[in-house]
Amino acid sequence: MTAHPTPACRHPKVIMLHDNEDDILGAASIIAEQVEEYRTIPVENDIGELVKKYRPSVIIFALSSVQKSIELYTQIITDKNIDYPHHSILLCKNRESGVAFRCCIKGLFDNYFVYQPLYEKFRLKMIIHMGLQISQSNEQYVGFQDEQLESIEEELAQMIDEGKECKRSLLDSIADCKKSLKNANEEAEKASISAVLIQKINETHIEPLLAELEINIKTGLDKMINQLLINQVGVKELEARVEEMNKVSVPDQQSILEALSNTASALSNPPKDAQKILVVEDNQLYRDMLVNILVKEEYNVDESADGLNALKKIKNTQYDLVLMDLFMPNLDGINATKQIKSITGGKKLPVIALTGNKNKDLIKTWAEQGLKGYILKPSSKKEILEAVGKILN
């Protein structure tokens, strides 16, 4: 900054564009007092190139009319000769101050100043100062020193300085608050992000792990319980066996001799084990009675509780006779008798019906399947043995 105008500065930070040098003399000298790196440039054909070359921070448009200044500024922008942050100031005549004000309000220029007539020198200096302050960094523009300012009473100057400090303090406090608020927001944002991350980790990792752990524990417990149950059953079985063994008393000598005698008798008179009878009856009580009767007559007796089980036995064992009930679960007597033919491969296995049913049609249907006789329940022992003997003998 210098007290003298330097209109031919090589790298001006402030330039004033004009189309009539006489019009700007007053304003130019004021600015030249304030800014060392300043230049006035008449508008010619290469004005855009010059602006581009100098890259000034503050551009003052001081053409003879506001309209010309607007046209020039727009052209420079359109030609991309200004493509950086800058501060634009419109100088106008007093009669065009309304248009200039409108241009600033609309945002085309950053400020305006009435330079014809020029009444407020310090107002122009203030506008230039503000422009440089806004468009340049603190290192680039240091502003005014006290000695550059007009002398005033010391008391008043002190008051101004105190007021300045007071305001600075306020601004610093506001800045601190803003900073704290920003930090708080950042912390909150971080906390929020952390919370989201924790939740996501929980959902994707922790919760599945916990679920898996729960399943594993449950499975392990189930296995342990099953094992305990198996062990318990095993212990009970063992206890039952021990109890059974305890019941078995050692036979005395007389019993052994009798048993040996019976065995010898059996060997000399072999039982009718060549004649094997299958008793098929679902009522266990009556089945036991029949088995008891037949065993006493030394028949070799086997038993089944239903038709299906009987067929399985007939398939695996060769019987000489079957006593068959009619109504049984799984497979009734009629259908079981029908199946016997195919199981024995054509070999005839005699079947005697055990029935309490007097339905002649039913008996006839059954008889057609190859019955050899029937025993009406409950027949006597004599009648049963006669029916059996008739077939087997």
Partner 1 sequence: MKNGTRMTEKNLEILNKNIMLDLIGDDPVMIKQFEIDFLKQAKESLQKLILMYNQGSFSGVKEEAHFLKTSAAAVGAEQTSYLLKALELSGEEEDKPKCKRLIVNIKTSLQQVRGAIIDDSASNSGLSPSQGDNAS
In the complex, the residues that contact partner 1 under the rule CB under 8 A are 281-286, 288-289, 292-293, 296, 325, 327, 356, 377-382, 384
The single-letter DSSP state of residue 55 is: -
Is residue 375 helix, strand or coil? strand
Q: Are residues 53 and 83 in contact, defined by beta-carbon separation less than 8 angstroms?
A: no
Name the nearest CA neighbour of 325 among 335, 340, 339.
335
Backbone angles phi, psi at 187, to 5 degrees: -65, -45
* Least Cβ distance, residue 380 to partner 1 (angstroms): 4
CB neighbourhood size of 358 (10 A):
8
Task: Give the whole-angstrom CA distance, residue 121 versus residue 182.
Answer: 41
Q: Rank residues 122 and 327 by Cβ distance to partner 1 and give the closer one.
A: 327
Whose tokens are 């001081």? That residue is 62
Give the relative orientation of helices 121-135 and 21-34 as an angle to the nearest 10 degrees: 70
* Least Cβ distance, residue 388 to partner 1 (angstroms): 14
Q: Are residues 301 and 294 in contact, defined by beta-carbon separation less than 8 angstroms?
A: yes
Task: Give the whole-angstrom CA distance, residue 145 versus residue 310.
Answer: 125
Q: Rank residues 120 and 386 by Cβ distance to partner 1 and give the closer one.
A: 386
* Least Cβ distance, residue 310 to partner 1 (angstroms): 17
Q: Rank residues 144 and 327 by Cβ distance to partner 1 and give the closer one.
A: 327
Name the strands in the sheet holding 87-93, side by side, starting at the edge strand that comes first in the sequence.
Answer: 38-42, 14-18, 58-62, 87-93, 111-116
Is residue 40 helix, strand or coil? strand
* Least Cβ distance, residue 314 to partner 1 (angstroms): 22
Whose tokens are 């001006």? That residue is 12
* Least Cβ distance, residue 301 to partner 1 (angstroms): 15
* Least Cβ distance, residue 300 to partner 1 (angstroms): 20
* Least Cβ distance, residue 293 to partner 1 (angstroms): 7
Q: Rank residues 321 and 384 by Cβ distance to partner 1 and give the closer one.
A: 384
Task: Give the whole-angstrom CA distance, residue 37 versus residue 2.
Answer: 9
Question: To the nearest 10°, the Cα dihedral for 307, 311, 317, 320?
Answer: 60
Cis peptide before 378 (omega within 30 of 0): yes
* Least Cβ distance, residue 257 to partner 1 (angstroms): 24
Q: What is the 3-state composition of the chain as percent helix, strand, coil, each rounded to the nearest 5?
A: 60, 15, 25
* Least Cβ distance, residue 232 to partner 1 (angstroms): 27
> Which helix (H) or strand (E) is 352 found in, with range?
strand 351-355
* Least Cβ distance, residue 266 to partner 1 (angstroms): 21
End-to-end CA separation in angstroms for the chain: 149
Q: Rank residues 4 and 382 by Cβ distance to partner 1 and give the closer one.
A: 382
Q: Rank residues 37 and 325 by Cβ distance to partner 1 and give the closer one.
A: 325
